[in-house]
Structures are given as C-alpha cells and as structure tokens.
C-alpha cells in the first residue's frame, strides 16, 4: 500500500503473534534495588510485603502538587531499563498509600524519551507532561493495602508508551501527593497489556525481577559450568535456531546475567543491537559481533538439531593475538575446544572449525570463552565435515536441503505469508530490514510474498534473501518483479525455501506510459513443489489512488494468472476493502482464505487495525488440492501493514 495521509499514523498495538514469540519484547519488572537516582522526600525502606523486602517510600508531610507535574521537581526517584524500539508497553505500578489514605495515593510518571501510540513525544522528563497514576479505583472506593494501577480513573490518559530507539531509558516517579509507597514498576508488552499483574487492592503479587534490561528471567547456572541446561532462558528470535544453520552471536537467548549469558562488565560496551551486559558492536564482517570478551564469560543459544549425526561447527572469529573457546551442547556429553589464531586485528576475520556429534532435538548450545582477546561474529553448523572457506562475510552463510528446508514439505503442507513491507520502513519511518526479516523468520513461513520492495536505497530483494538465509539457516529462492524497467524502482517479491520448478514475472500497464510508477504494477510468480504437487504462488500490489487503473491492473492480473494451473494462491495488497468491486471480482475465480478458515469477512485487519486490504486468494479450479487449515494476522509496527499468514494442506 502507498502511504495514505488520510489514514494518518497507525495506532500501534504491541505485536501479538500466534504460534511465535516477539523478538525482543518482554516484561520489564523493576524493584527498589533498580532505583539509581533519589531526590528529596523519597527513600528505600525495608518492607516485609515488598518485592525483595524493600519499597520506595515518601513520608507523609501533607504536601502535594496535584494540578500538574513539575519540569524541575525536588522530590522524585529514577530507574534505568533497556527496551527495544517501536514496542508498545503498558505501564503498571504496585502502590500502597500510607495509612490507606486517599491523600497519599498518587504520583506523576515520566520517561526520558517515551512516545505515545501515535509516535508523538509523551510524558517526558523535564516537561509539565506526565502520566498521573492514582491508586484509588473510583471516587470513594477506598484504599486497601498494595494494589496494581496504571492511570487515574478520571483523566482518560493512556498508560501505553513506546520508545523510538532501542537501548537504555529512564523512568522518573515524581511526587504528586507525599505518602505513597511503590515496590514494583512494570512495563509490559504482552502479558499484562490487557489486565493488571495482580489485584487492585490487598495484592500479594511479586513478579520475577528483570535480569537483562527487560527480560524477566531468574538467576540460574554458574559461569564455571558454562551456562549449561535448565537455565530458564528463552530463544531471542522467538523459537530455537535450526541446525544445520547459522547462529548470529548477537542472538543469544533472553534471560539475563547468569541465565542466558555471563559477562564480567556492566552494560553493553559497544552499544549495538540490544540491551544487557553483553558487549555488541558493528562488524566489518557483516551484522554485529560480540567484543570486549573476557575469560570465563559465556553465551547460551536455544537450538533445534534436525537429526542426530556428525556436524561441523564453523566459528567466525577475529583476534589481534590469539585465544581459545569451547562449545558444548547439553544433549551431547563433553566440550569441544577451539583454538583461535592471530588474525591481525579485531576486525580481521577468519573461520575456525570443530567437528561435533549431535543428538536430535531442541537443546542449549553454550559458547564458553577460555580466554579474552577475541571477537565472535557468528556460528555456522553444517552437516558432516565440510570445510569453510573462511571468507563468506556478510553473515549470510546457509545450508542447503533437498526439501528446501521446510518441515512441511514431506507432509504435504506449507505456510504462506503475504506482507506489504513499506519499502523496509516501520510504521514510524525507521528503515529496518533486519528487524522485518527477523519477524518473518519468527513466523516460520515456507513462501513469503512481499509488496513495496524497492531497489532505490539498496537491492532489497537480494538483501531479504540474505537475511532470511542468515536467520533461518535455509536456502531461499527470490523472484523479483519490478513495476518498471529501471535500476531504481519498486515491485513485488516471492521468497521461498521450497523447491522451485519455475518462476515468472509480469508487468501490468494501466496506461501507455510504461515509465509511470503507480499506473504500472507487477506480479511475481513461482511454482513450488509441496509433497510432489505443483502449487503456483503469486505476489502483487494494485494501485491505491486511481480506481480505474486498479480495475485495469486486476483484469490483467486475473487473465495472466490463468496461464498457470491450479492450485493458485494469489496474494498481496489489493488496496480494497472486503465487499468492494475489486474483491468481489476476484471472488469470481477465487475464494478468500481468511473467510475460508474463519467463516466471516470480519477481523483480520491489516491496516490501521480497522481495514483489510491484504489477502491470499485461492483459485476455485484447484482449491480441493490446497486446503487452508489455519490463518492469522499478527499485529506489528514493523510496517504500516500487518501480514496475513496461512497454512495449507496439499494433495
């Protein structure tokens, strides 16, 4: 879809994904021990009912500033936390009023760099704008011990915030009425996005303390064990990384210090990619590398080994002198030690290898650093004892598979995803192909149809192919269909890890001027093999502005698609609501997968959480051969559209 000024900015909702977790968004739970800056009438006090035995307390002197927050207050405390960009959080405080008095039950909440769900600055420190949080739930309801609250019942303020850049942020609690007590601050992108973590009065809920800038794990294994299993950590990309495949060093598990990693220094010295204490920097070898490594540090990665057998681990490393590390898998006894040679510099890269015998299944891979003095970019795990050239660069190493890497192929089913990626930009204008590709990988599709892919800024079709190979460990085929024949243009793409028997592209022209961008559109087509059956998949995008052009383009699309036998799955951005002419016209030859599965044309909104412009249509002449078994629309701010994802059984 083109940018629609009349629709305005998307009202962002936190990413909710059926069957896959978000990439970074985890509950942030702060205790009194996280408070780093205290001023005036606030202090930490012992509390038998408070989290970790403490609470932040303000003495009741009868003072208040109830009309508005102060830009330069004298009474406040602050805590720092790390959070990803463009993720909606709901703010919750667990509060108690001294003496259960309504005159001691409210505070002002501010942030260093928060924005609201429209992308505008909100509740900023140093301003007279703040979120008013009041413990009493209604006029005359009363106060009864600890309770969870996110706003004040009379204000109509929104408790939802997000942050325009990933990294460290600050929350400030400013006095509105003195006398409140606070023991937990929660920013939740999912678990408590709709409901509070506990009761609104007489509450006893203590949430696990965040260990890694927003990931709520609890300390577990020790450094001497190299992390080991049973740490309670979770995959950073939402699901275990497939082996054979490539693991980027930066994608160690969520969980925090002593759970998913051990790091001897505080904070991310390189400042790249994510929060926590692991030191990450941009790499000349592509992507990011782990640097500032010290002896005894380690990293955990959740992986899924496809089958038992012999593999070769290929580690992309750099060292100005030399070093040593070891790698272990918790389903395989023993460690495998690897010597790292002197490469000539911190960004002079080579590949070192070690053979391993692995058992099948999900397990924990641990990289343990025997010495410092080295950087680590990525780990490739390939079948057998193949040798690496050591010069792959760019982080796009992949392993091939006769089935295209799909777990669905042998069973005669597959997953298809269609998504308008808005030229690689998020709903708020940030250019972020990497996060989009990570999100695609987290959904585990076998066929991906993308719209508004372009070649102005970079060769996005090839870049998405590289990123998907990097994040999935599978080989992908890309079919690029530009709308006009120009070096810099936009178009549509099919990406698939299934075997491809043929591929085609087609340009649709609504006028005689083939250089006009929007009057000319395109279709990407691929014939993929699923359980021995040819399935034809298409990616397209019809014009938004000119309805006559849209009608002409659709007729050309439907005529051209008939050159391919069923089953046909035509997907993309049709810039039309359900029930409009262009959708009913498609339904003369196709059925709408969303309606096939859900039995309704409602919901499944892909634009502004209110409009359905994106579809996967299934041809009637071959529909019995491709039966949809599931469909869903995950909500994300990584584009101005939500994708449509469907599973099909093929016979």
Same domain assignment for residues 625 and 483: yes
Question: Per the domain annotation, does 630 fall within a domain?
Answer: yes
Asked if 458 and 374 sit in the same domain, the reply is no
pLDDT band at 286 (very low <50, low <70, confident <90, very high): confident
Q: Choose the weakest-confidence range: 142-146, 316-320, 383-387, 607-611.
A: 383-387
Residue 606 — pLDDT band, cuts 50, 70, 90?
Answer: very high
d(CA 522, CA 524): 7
CB-based contacts of 584: which residues, under 8 Å, 6+ apart?
none
Each residue's pLDDT tens digit, 547-567: 999 999 999 999 999 999 879
pLDDT of 234 higher than 90: no
Among residues 162, 188, 214, which one ends one of the domains?
Answer: 188
Evaluate whether residue 18 is within a structural domain: no
Please state the pTM of the whole predicted model: 0.43
Q: Mean pLDDT lowest for which of 14-28, 124-138, 248-262?
A: 14-28
Neighbours of 483 (CB within 10 A): 23
Is residue 267 one of the residues assigned to a domain?
A: yes
At 237, the pLDDT band (50, 70, 90 cuts) reads: confident
Alpha carbon 563 to its chain's center: 38
pLDDT at 119: 72
CA distance 360 to 305: 5
Q: Which 8-state DSSP code applies to residue 354?
A: E
Measure the CA dihedral 385/390/394/397, to 10°: -10
What digits encode the pLDDT tens for the residues 176-206?
999 999 999 999 987 888 789 999 889 999 9
Same-domain check for residues 254 and 376: yes
Q: 460-472 and 433-443 are packed helices; what angle lies between their axes, rounded to 10 degrees?
A: 50
pLDDT greater than 90 at residue 264: no
pLDDT in tens, 30-40: 999 889 889 99
**Greatest pairwise CA separation for the chain in angstroms:** 81
Give the integer Cα–Cα distance in Å for 548 and 57: 66
Note whether residue 389 is domain-resident. no
d(CA 179, CA 181): 7
Tokens 């029930």 sit on residue = 579
Name the strand (E) or helix (H) holding 553: helix 547-561
Phi, psi dihedral angles at 548 (to 5 degrees):
-65, -45
Residues 109 and 166 in one domain: yes
Q: What distance in Å separates the CA atoms of residue 115 and residue 111, rounded to the nearest whole number?
A: 9
For residue 67, tell me if it sits in a domain: yes
- For 298, other C-beta atoms within 10 Å of its C-beta total 24
Q: Are residues 551 and 483 in the same domain?
A: yes
CA distances from 444 to 288, 493, 595 (A): 23, 17, 22
Place 332 in a pLDDT band, splitting at 50, 70 and 90: low
- Mean pLDDT: which of 351-355, 469-473, 476-480, 519-523 is highest? 476-480
**Is the peptide bond prior to 244 cis by the omega test (within 30 degrees of 0)?**
yes
Integer angstrom CA distances of residue 650 from 539, 628, 647: 19, 9, 10
Of the candidates 591, 616, 477, 601, the one whose C-alpha atom is nearest the C-alpha of residue 540 is 616
| SS3 of residue 507 by DSSP | strand
Please say whether the beta carbons of 345 and 243 come within 8 A: no
Is 303 in the same domain as 423? no
Least confident of 3-17, 417-431, 540-554: 3-17
Q: Please choose, from the candidates 570, 577, 533, the residue with its C-alpha nearest in 3D space to the C-alpha of residue 646.
A: 570
Residue 229 and residue 313 in one domain: yes
Together in a domain, 284 and 367? yes
| pLDDT, mean of residues 440-456 | 92
| Same domain for 413 and 555 | yes
pLDDT at 4 over 50: no
Query: Is residue 390 predicted with pLDDT exceeding 70?
Result: no
Contact 490, 263 (CB under 8 A): no
pLDDT digits (tens, 9 = 90+) for 627-649: 998 999 988 888 999 999 999 99
Number of domain units in the chain: 3
- Predicted confidence (pLDDT) at residue 453 exceeds the cutoff of 70: yes
Average pLDDT over residues 420-442: 89
Helices (H), 70-206: none
Cα 520–chain centre separation? 33
The CA distance from 404 to 322, in Å, is 38
The percentage of the chain sitting over the pLDDT mark of 90, rounded to a whole number, equals 46
Residues 612 and 493 in one domain: yes
Q: CATH code at 426?
A: 3.60.10.10
- Residue 54, pLDDT > 60, answer yes
Nearest to 61 by CA among 51, 75, 72: 75
How sure is the predictor about 213, in pLDDT bands with cuts at 50, 70 and 90?
very low
143 and 60 both lie in a single domain: yes
pLDDT at 231: 33
Tokens encoding 437? 């590709």
pLDDT at 361: 87
Helical (H) or strand (E) element with 172: strand 167-175
> What is the domain-level CATH number for residue 374?
2.60.120.260
Structural domain for 626, as ranges: 409-650
Cβ neighbours, 10 Å, residue 382: 22
Indicate whether 162 and 258 sit together in one domain.
no
**Mean of the pLDDT values across residues 585-610?**
90
Cα separation, 298 vs 300, whole angstroms: 7
Summary mean pLDDT of the chain: 83
pLDDT tens-digit series, residues 392-414: 222 222 222 222 333 334 448 89
| pLDDT at 25 (0 to 100) | 55
Residue 394 is assigned to a structural domain of this protein: no
Q: Is residue 195 part of a domain?
A: no
Q: Is residue 367 part of a domain?
A: yes
Final residue in a domain of this structure, among 348, 383, 418: 383
């Amino acid at each position: 879809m083109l940018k629609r000024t009349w629709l305005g900015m998307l009202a962002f909702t936190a990413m909710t994904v059926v069957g896959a977790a978000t990439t970074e968004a985890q509950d942030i739970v702060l205790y009194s021990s996280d408070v780093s800056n205290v001023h005036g009438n606030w202090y930490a006090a012992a509390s038998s009912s408070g989290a970790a035995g403490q609470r932040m307390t303000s003495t009741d002197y009868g003072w208040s500033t109830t009309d508005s927050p102060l830009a330069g207050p004298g009474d406040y405390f602050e805590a720092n936390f790390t959070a990803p960009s463009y993720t909606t959080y709901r703010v919750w405080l667990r509060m108690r009023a001294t003496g259960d008095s309504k005159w001691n039950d409210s505070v002002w909440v501010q942030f260093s760099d928060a924005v609201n769900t429209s992308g505008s600055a909100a509740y900023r420190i140093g301003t007279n704008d703040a979120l008013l949080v009041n413990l009493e739930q209604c006029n005359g309801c009363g106060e009864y011990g600890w309770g969870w609250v996110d706003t004040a019942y009379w204000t109509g303020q929104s408790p939802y915030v997000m942050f325009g850049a990933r990294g460290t942020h600050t929350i400030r609690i400013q006095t509105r009425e003195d006398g409140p007590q606070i023991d937990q601050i929660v920013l939740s992108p999912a678990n408590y996005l709709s409901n509070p973590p506990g009761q609104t009065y007489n509450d006893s809920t203590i949430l696990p303390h965040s260990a890694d800038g927003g990931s709520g794990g609890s300390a577990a294994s020790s450094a001497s064990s190299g992390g080991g299993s049973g740490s309670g950590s979770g995959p950073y990309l939402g699901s275990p990384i497939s082996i054979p495949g490539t693991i980027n060093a930066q994608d160690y598990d969520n969980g925090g210090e002593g759970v998913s990693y051990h790091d001897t220094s505080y904070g991310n010295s390189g400042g790249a990619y994510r929060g926590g204490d692991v030191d990450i920097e941009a790499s000349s070898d592509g992507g990011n590398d782990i640097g500032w490594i010290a002896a005894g540090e380690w990293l955990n990665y959740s992986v899924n080994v496809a089958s038992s057998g012999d593999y070769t681990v290929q580690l992309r490393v750099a060292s100005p002198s030399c070093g040593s590390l070891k790698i272990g898998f918790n389903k395989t006894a023993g460690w495998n030690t690897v010597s790292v040679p002197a490469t000539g510099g911190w960004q002079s890269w080579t590949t070192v290898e070690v053979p391993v015998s692995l058992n099948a299944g999900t397990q924990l891979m641990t990289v343990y650093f025997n010495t410092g003095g080295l950087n680590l970019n990525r780990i490739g795990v390939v079948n057998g004892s193949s040798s690496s050239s050591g010069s792959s660069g760019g982080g796009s190493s992949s392993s091939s598979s006769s089935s295209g890497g799909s777990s669905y192929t042998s069973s005669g089913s597959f997953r298809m995803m269609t998504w308008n990626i808005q030229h690689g930009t998020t709903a708020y204008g940030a250019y972020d192909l990497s996060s989009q590709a990570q999100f695609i990988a987290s959904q585990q599709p076998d066929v991906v149809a993308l719209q508004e892919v372009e070649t102005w800024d970079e060769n996005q079709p090839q870049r998405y192919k590289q990123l998907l190979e990097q994040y999935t460990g599978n080989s992908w085929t890309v079919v690029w269909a530009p709308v006009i024949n120009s070096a810099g243009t936009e178009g549509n793409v099919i990406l698939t890890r299934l075997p491809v028997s043929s591929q085609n592209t087609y340009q649709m022209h609504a006028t005689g001027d083939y250089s006009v961008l929007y009057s000319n559109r395109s279709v990407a087509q691929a014939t993929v093999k699923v359980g021995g059956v040819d399935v034809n998949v298409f990616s397209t995008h019809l014009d938004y502005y000119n309805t006559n052009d849209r009608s002409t383009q659709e007729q050309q699309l439907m005529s051209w698609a008939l050159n391919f036998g069923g089953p046909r799955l035509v997907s993309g951005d049709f810039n039309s609501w359900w029930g409009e002419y262009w959708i009913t016209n498609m339904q003369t030859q196709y059925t709408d997968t969303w309606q096939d599965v859900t039995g309704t044309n409602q919901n499944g909104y892909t634009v502004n959480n209110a409009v359905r412009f994106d579809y996967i249509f299934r041809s009637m002449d071959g529909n019995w051969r491709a039966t949809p078994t599931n469909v869903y629309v995950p909500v994300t701010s990584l584009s101005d559209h939500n994708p449509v994802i469907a599973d099909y059984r093929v016979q």
